[in-house]
Structure 1
Amino acid sequence: MRKTVVKSHVQQHHDQSAQWLDVDSIARVEISSEDPSQPIEAALQPVGAPGWRAAESGPQIIRLLFDAPQKVKRIYLLINEQEVSRTQEFVLRYAQYHGHSFREIVRQQFTFAPPGTTTEQEEYQVDLDGVTTLELEIMPDVSGSAAKASLGRLLLA
């Protein structure tokens, strides 16, 4: 895994038989921060470790920079929060053919209210060709608390 730092147990519900892209071998990852005990590699695999967690509070960026343009048909996101009640917002965007302008795929808010509502799981059917950058921006709490962003899974097919 090539990555650059630029500034709980996860329940699996996605289709584990899907042909997910092997991001380790086709992309470089840029992240805004990372808790050493929960590195980004853990969130980019279909099964396994509990995912990524930011080392710092506040907005976070996870950026996948593909070595060659990719065709993306599905995007799976899993985010868990077991401890802090909060409203999170994320924005998923992409750039094509090494361009610098991003197009937004989705912007969504979700309220975590442990112990009841602790998981946000989304799967998007898309038809994107020539993707060279995929960016996930997470605002862990729209009210500005010291909550830390986390990501259980980010999978692409």
Structure 2
Amino acid sequence: MQKRIIGDSRIDAASLMTQHLSLEELADVEVSSEDVEHPIEAALLPGFNRGWRAGVPGKQTIRLLFKQAQPVKCIQLDFLESSIVRTQEYIIRMSQDNGQSFVEIVRQQWNFNPQGCTAESEQHIVDLPAVSIIELHITPDISDPSVFASLEKMRVF
């Protein structure tokens, strides 16, 4: 019998997280609303510590429009909620053809509770060689349309 040791073929998330894309240089951003005290740049760019907050309640969209298609390996999202109990849902969609078509990457719900879980941090591993648009749709509370959406941090690798 011959024996061979095969390597681990799983993607190493830590190696993907070494250098995030410079969204300030590579992309334009569209956002459905923003609070003047918490602009979208606060979630997308390093050096901020207050995150983004919607200017109006209800569902919100954040859209990254890359000036040239970019390879995307991972999307990191961080959410904080320490005030109210709520169930948030978000959807990430990507386009590789400048918005002609979109592929849903993830749809996820999370329960926030000030007495328990106040933070959500997710790393979605993908392997897309040429992404032109990333859309993040946030429903801040699936049962209450009067809740404001927020996003502490979003990084693209």
Name the structure 1 match of 2:75: 75
Residue deviations 1:119-146, cap 9 Å, x none? 1110011101210000000000000241
Name the structure 2 match of 1:39: 39
Matched AA of 2:122: E
Tell me how large the CA RMSD over aligned residues is. 1.6
Aligned-partner Cα distance in 1 for 2:128–2:84? 35
Q: Which range moved further: 140-149 or 30-39?
A: 140-149
Name the structure 2 match of 1:121: 121
Moved beyond 3 Å, runs of 4+: none
Identity %: 47
Aligned-partner Cα distance in 2 for 1:46–1:115? 29
Answer with 1 or 2: which has the greater Rg.
2
Choose between structure 1 and 2: higher strand proportion: 1
Does the CA contact (< 8 Å) of 1:84 and 1:147 recur in 2? no
TM-score, normalised via structure 1 length: 0.86
Between Structure 1 and Structure 2, how many residues are aligned? 143
Name the structure 1 match of 2:91: 91
Aligned-partner Cα distance in 1 for 2:49–2:123? 20
- Secondary structure of the corresponding residue to residue 57 of structure 1: coil
Name the structure 1 match of 2:102: 102
